[in-house]
Structure 1
Amino acid sequence: MTRFSRPRAVALGVVCAVMLSGCSSGVFGAGSSVTVVIGVDGPLTGKLADLGLGIRNSAELAVAKANAKNTVPGVKFVLDAKDDQADEQGALANGQAFVADPRVIGVVGPLTSSGALAMAPVLSEAGLAVISPSNTSPALTWGADYRANGKKRQYATYYRTVTTDAVQGPLLARYAHSRLKAERAAVVSDTKAYGNNLAAEFGTAFEEVGGKVAFRATVKDGTTDFSKLASQIAATHPDIVYYGGEHPEGGPLSAALKAAGVNVPMAGGDGLHTDGYIKAAGASSNGDLASQPGISVEGLASAFGYLEAYTQAGHKEEPGPFGPYAYDSTWALIQAVGRARQAEPDATGAELRKAVAEALQHVSFFGVTGDVSFDEYGDTRNQVASIYKVTKGSWTSVVPFGRLRDF
């Protein structure tokens, strides 16, 4: 998970606390009083619960701030967090439950792209906005065949605050080739939409810049014994091993590779950028790399304030890599409610839900993760990614603000 430095001066903490509020009290026009529900979907239990709980806690923080500041006069925000255990059928069921509850005006989540591919069509058909702090599959906004047929928006009410695999995969590929001088790569992925797509993006970009993908493999979710695979990879003599997937499998794979004598960095996407990966891989993780959609938030003053507020809220779980984006996703929905109520002060129920989904397209503010706004596909306009390296058991930023043209 992403670690944040604390503010070094009281004055900075005060400034950040103001910034974290997102907007001053009562910036939107008042209407009749109403209670609205923001849904949150993610893994609150199971092997990816560390990520889901960071998302839920951060959404709670934004809701608490909005209520305390009376950000949208006449509106009380309530959070309804549902557990999908990182399973697409769970995400689908939760999406159907959100649609059935007329008080729900928007949803933050899901964590996984496969969950979003199951949930987004249901929410879009119902006119219910959904904004994810973690989905990275380009197919969600551009379509699965965007390379052949061009980009086409898939779901009218789907948005995200993180950039996609089409940025983070190629960014790490170019970094590996130009900065690490890697010429040969082994590319492995799990069977999920996220891992498959991320590995494909990395592999394509690596060969486009002159590298060679010498080995490819797919592993099943839940695999724990990687000794045979590690031996196969060792025989191809890669300069880097790329894994498209999540940390419960990625950590053991890194350990198996080092045990097999593959003493080169293992790299991956945001699914590896967690403390869970380091714990699973142990000392083998040192030198490994992971990309993260968006800017390295440790350098943003607004992130200092976010961490301080998160700590003061008493959450036991770390915010993780997606907590800051969950805060901004929730705040975007709050801003959309404000815009909708400003246009129609007495809107409630289905009318408010529809107005919020439309208003979200026009939301723009400076949040914890920087500028937050959305393009015509529902993607964040903040198309940057960062790269981290494990050094002495901790993730450290090596590329805090990366664009594809940088490498």
Structure 2
Amino acid sequence: MTRFSRPTAVAVGVVCAVLLSGCGSGFLGSGSTLTVVIGVDGPLTGKLADLGLGIRNSAELAVAKANAKKTVPGVTFVLDAKDDQADEATALANGQAFVADGRVMGVVGPLTSSGALAMAPVLSRAGLAVISPSNTSPALTWGADYRANGKKRQYATYFRTVTTDAVQGPLLARYAYKRLEARRAAVISDKKAYGSNLAAEFATAFEEVGGNVAFRTTVQSGTTDFTKLATQVAAAHPDIVYYGGEHPEGGPLSAALKAAGVKVPLAGGDGLHTDGYVKAAGASSEGDIASQPGISVEGLASAFAYLDAYGQAGLKEEPGPFGPYAYDSTWALIQAVGRVRQAQPDLSGPELRTAVADALQQVSFFGVTGDVAFDEYGDTRNQVASIYQVKKGAWSAVVPFGRLRDF
């Protein structure tokens, strides 16, 4: 993501009012004054806090804009951000707390697919909308057995603004085979829902286009010593090493591979596309590759106001790869509330909660990340991914806008 200078902190609401005048319109109609809480769930502390804080901060920008511009007349939006530390049990508990708070009309998050698999059933049973800016497991919208039995929507109130591993994994596999001319791959993953599924999508697609997965294994989350594994990978002589997992393990893995003489790129998904990965891997990250579900927003005119607002708000944390999608996720919930208030201005309580989830299915607007709308499964209709490479110590987009048909 773009680096920002750190000016003196400016009131977020003022920044939003001045700089974020686009990305959706206000709603007519009023009714009684109402406070609507939007929940946010993600790791605000711990090893993935850099991602979670970017999501929370971006949601705050959207809420501040809606309040400053009175986007939904008669409604004041309040954010309730809960820390799940990227732990499934905590995400579940947070979800239960959101359900119990009758003021909560929607939730942004969780960061991880594992957290969403724990939380989504609880929220769905309560009729509470949840929209993630970062979940990529196809199982959340299509079911775990979609390859064998076809796609079937899993949770009526679950949505996401990013594409899935069924796009980003194959996109990078085809890029590696056709653009990098890689023919042999080593595939490694952690055992979480996100990492294992992403690695499987990459491996399947790589073999479908003619590549050979010469080595495959899994590792435990939290592993930092990859010396033995790096030696095993070196013996397989891969042209590319793919890691399905997150940057706290991916960085040390890259360093170990380079130390063992494996001089080919380490590739992965959005779990690696963070500043934390580059810091953890150090100089070994140079040339490594990561996909990102969604478009590279740095060159999008629609993202300029958001990026400027984020930079001028005096926030300590970078927006990260999911901040723009968190902004659009929050704005989608605000739009859904507006739709309901316009049609039924006096609706509140459980009826409003259910109506917001129903209205979210019909929301459509041009946001920070481009077109925001949802298909019959709750997935974004904007099925694109981007590919980045570490160049001179920073991520640089090499495929800013990628569709599977392009490779």
Provide the TM-score with structure 2 as the length reference: 0.96
Residue matched to 1:365: 365
SS at match of 1:241: strand
Secondary structure of residue in 2 paired with 1:235: helix
CA 1:20–1:171 in 2, change beyond 3 Å: closer, same or farther?
farther
**In 2, Cα distance between equivalents of 1:299 and 1:27:** 30
Which residue does the alignment assign to 2:131? 131
User: What residue number does 1:216 align with?
Assistant: 216
Q: Secondary structure at the match of 1:79?
A: strand
Q: Structure 2 matches for 1:121-160, cutoff 5 A?
A: 121-160=121-160
Q: Distance in 1 between matches of 2:251 and 2:358?
A: 41
For residue 347 of structure 1, report the CA deviation from its aligned partner.
0.8
Distance 2:298 2:231 in 1: 38
1:354 matched to 2:328: no
- How many Å apart are 1:314 and its aligned residue? 1.3
- Within-5 A mapping of 1:387-402: 387-402=387-402
C-alpha separation in 2, matches of 1:75 and 1:314:
27
1:4-403 equivalent positions in 2, closer than 5 A: 21-24=22-25, 26-403=26-403
- Structure 1 position 18, deviation (Å): 6.1
The reply on whether 1:404 has 2:398 as its aligned counterpart is no
C-alpha distance 221-29 of structure 1, shift in aligned 2 (>3 A): same
Given that residues 254 and 284 in structure 1 are in contact (C-alpha distance below 8 angstroms), is that contact kept between their aligned partners in structure 2?
A: yes
- Structure 1 contact 17–305 (Cα < 8 Å) conserved: no
Paired AA for residue 262 in structure 1: V
Q: How many equivalent residue pairs? A: 398
For 1:287 and 1:19, the matched residues in 2 are separated by 35
Deviation at 1:27?
2.5
**After alignment, is 294-303 or 221-230 more displaced?**
294-303
**CA offsets 1:77-108 (integer angstroms, 9 cap, x no match):** 00000000000000000000000000000000
Q: Which secondary structure does the structure 2 equivalent of 1:362 belong to? A: coil
Counterpart of 1:397 in 2: which secondary structure?
Answer: strand
Give distance in 2, aligned partners of 1:151 and 1:226. 37
Choose 295-304 or 196-205, whichever is displaced more: 295-304
Cα RMSD, aligned residues only: 1.5
- Structure 1 stretches (4+) deviating beyond 3 angstroms? 16-21
Per-residue CA distance 1:280-305 (angstroms, 9 max, x = gap): 00000000000001111011112111
2:361 is paired with a residue whose SS is helix
Change (3 A) 1:129 1:99: same
What is the DSSP-based 3-state SS (H/G/I as helix, E as strand, rest coil) of the residue aligned with 1:382? coil
Partner Cα separation in structure 2 for residue 91 and residue 116 of structure 1: 8
Report how far residue 277 of structure 1 moved: 0.1
TM-score normalized by structure 1?
0.96
* d(CA) in 1 for partners of 2:333, 2:61: 13
Paired residues of 1:36 and 1:75 also in contact (CA < 8 A): yes
Unaligned runs of 5+ in 2: 6-14
Q: Supply the distance in 1 between the matched residues of 2:376 and 2:193 (Cα, whole angstroms).
A: 23
Q: Distance in 2 between matches of 1:281 and 1:130?
A: 34
Do 2:136 and 2:162's aligned partners in 1 also have CA atoms closer than 8 Å? yes
Identity over aligned pairs, percent: 84
CA contact 2:44–2:53 (8 Å) conserved in 1: yes
